[in-house]
Structures are given as C-alpha cells and as structure tokens.
C-alpha cells in the first residue's frame, strides 16, 4: 500500500524568508503523480503544485517549487519570499494512475511578520 | 467560473434529523468527490462520481447517501447520524476521473455538528 509521510507537524518562517516542507512517500508503482495542497483557515483546499513522476524536471509555480527525488521517494516543497497569506496547513499527496488521492498528515506553517 | 460552491457552510443537526449537503460546479468537470475531514487531519475520501455515476464508495456507512442529479450538482443526504460524524465535509471536482486531473478544485466545505 502507498503511504505519504510528512515528518514536520509544524513549521515557522519569517516573512520574506524561504522555507522547505518535507514529504516522503512509499510506492512500488512507476506511474504516479504528486501534489502539494494548501488549506488556510478559510478551510478551502487549494492545489498548489503538481509533479508527474515521469518528468525529471522539478515543477515550479511562482514562489512555490518542488525538489522531486524519485529514487529517494522524496517530494519537498520550497516556498520563497514567504508572505503572511502563506500561513496554512500544507498537505503532500500521492496518486497512482489508477488509485485515489492519498494525503500525508500535514504540516502547519506559520509566518511571522 | 472556477469555483466549487458548497451549501450550507454550517449545519447543526440532531441524530434523528434528515438533512442534505449540496455541492455545485459549473466548470464542466465530469468527476466529483466527497471528503470528510476531522480537525488537524487530512481529508478522507468518501465517494467519487464519474460522469454522474458512482464509481467509488469507500465503505461509507449507509447513513450517508450520495446523489448526482446532473453533471453540475452533487448532494450528500444525511440520516440518523452519530456525534462522531461531526466533521468538515468537502466537495471537490476535476476535469475527469483520471489521476492526471486530480481533485483540482475544492469547495469551502460544510462544517457539520451532530448533537
């Protein structure tokens, strides 16, 4: 069975600084997708970034980028120039080509002004 | 319109009540999902509708009954719930059921309290 592990329950970053959230996963599949979701206090889950396993190039979306290490089964999220609005719960998620979305336990990020 | 709209935002119901949660999207998405989320926990998948047909039921108790009247609308009918069913219920949609589309859009959820 596939599992997703986020080892940092809480993280804190100073405004304008950079922070990296960790995620590891376990799978025997070769075709899968990885995602980071953000859930602010407003409760709405927002898809931040996605990575296809077959792509070697790391995905980026504005201030958000990932470090995808397929052999190590690692998928970390880097947030550059952190803003107060980045404060949220961040979930790493995995989905195989035929499976359902599997979430990690989440990392609560706080941003200090 | 890139929104998934859920109503109501909050709901308090007794264990003998019958109520319904509603989810609507007008993006032409053909897959819609219900998730249950407890505080400080990740969402748990309940149901998936693909092209208006129930494709996944994650062994959810029968007191939860999903319905997809059309491609834009998804309901979750609630009956004889238990206090442990109190949670945030999230609806999501994606362009299609394939993994490449994923649950791209979520609603803001309905906060359900069972008393």
Q: What is the pLDDT, as a whole number, of residue B104?
A: 80
Q: Do A43 and B100 lie within an 8 Å CB cutoff? A: no
User: In this predicted model, what pLDDT tens digit does every residue of A25-51 receive, in sequence order?
Assistant: 999 998 899 999 999 988 899 999 999
User: In this predicted model, what pLDDT tens digit does every residue of B48-79 receive, in sequence order?
Assistant: 999 999 998 989 999 999 999 999 999 999 99
Task: Please list the rounded mean pLDDT of every run of 10 residues in chain A (113 residues).
Answer: 94 98 95 95 92 93 96 97 97 89 96 97
User: In this predicted model, what pLDDT tens digit does every residue of B8-54 receive, in sequence order?
Assistant: 999 999 999 999 999 999 999 999 999 999 999 999 999 999 999 99
Return d(Cα B93, Cα B71) in angstroms, integer: 11
Q: How close is the nearest chain B Cα to the Cα of A52, in Å?
A: 8
Q: Are strands B4-7 and B18-25 parallel, antiparallel or unpaired?
A: antiparallel
Q: What is the pLDDT, as a whole number, of residue B2?
A: 67
Element (H, E) at A92: strand A88-96
Return d(Cα B66, Cα B26) in angstroms, integer: 19
- Residues in chain A, overall count: 113
Q: Do B102 and A42 lie within an 8 Å CB cutoff? A: no
Find the chain B residues whose C-beta atoms sit closer than 8 A to any C-beta of A.
Answer: 40-43, 45, 48, 56, 58, 88, 90, 92, 98-100, 102-109, 111
Average pLDDT of chain B is 94
Compare CB distances from A106 to B42, B105, B106 and report the shortest one's residue. Answer: B42
Find the chain A residues whose C-beta atoms sit closer than 8 A to any C-beta of B.
Answer: 32-33, 35, 42-47, 50, 52, 89, 91, 93, 95-101, 103-106, 108
Can you point out the beta strands (E) in A2-87? 3-5, 10-14, 19-21, 24-26, 32-39, 46-52, 60-61, 64-69, 74-79
Q: Cβ contacts (< 8 Å) between A50 and chain B: which residues? A: 102
């Amino acid at each position: 069975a596939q599992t997703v592990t986020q080892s940092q329950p809480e993280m804190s970053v100073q405004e304008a600084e950079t922070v990296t959230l960790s995620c590891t996963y376990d799978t025997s599949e070769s075709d899968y997708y990885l995602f980071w979701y953000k859930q602010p206090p407003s409760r709405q889950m927002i898809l931040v970034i996605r990575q296809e396993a077959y792509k070697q190039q790391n995905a980026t979306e504005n201030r958000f980028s990932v470090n995808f290490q397929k052999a190590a089964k690692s998928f970390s999220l880097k947030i550059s120039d952190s803003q107060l609005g980045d404060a949220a719960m961040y979930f790493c998620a995995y989905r195989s080509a035929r499976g359902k979305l599997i979430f990690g336990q989440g990392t609560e990020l706080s941003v200090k002004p | 319109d890139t929104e998934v709209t859920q109503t109501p935002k909050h709901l308090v119901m007794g264990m003998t009540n019958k109520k319904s949660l509603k989810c609507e999207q007008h993006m032409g998405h053909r897959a819609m999902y219900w998730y249950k989320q407890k505080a400080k926990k990740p969402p748990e998948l309940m149901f998936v509708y693909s092209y208006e047909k129930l494709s996944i039921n994650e062994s959810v108790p029968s007191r939860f009954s999903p319905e997809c009247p059309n491609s834009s609308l998804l309901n979750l009918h609630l009956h004889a719930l238990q206090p442990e069913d109190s949670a945030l219920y999230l609806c999501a949609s994606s362009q299609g059921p394939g993994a490449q589309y994923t649950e791209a859009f979520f609603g803001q959820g309905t906060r359900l309290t069972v008393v």
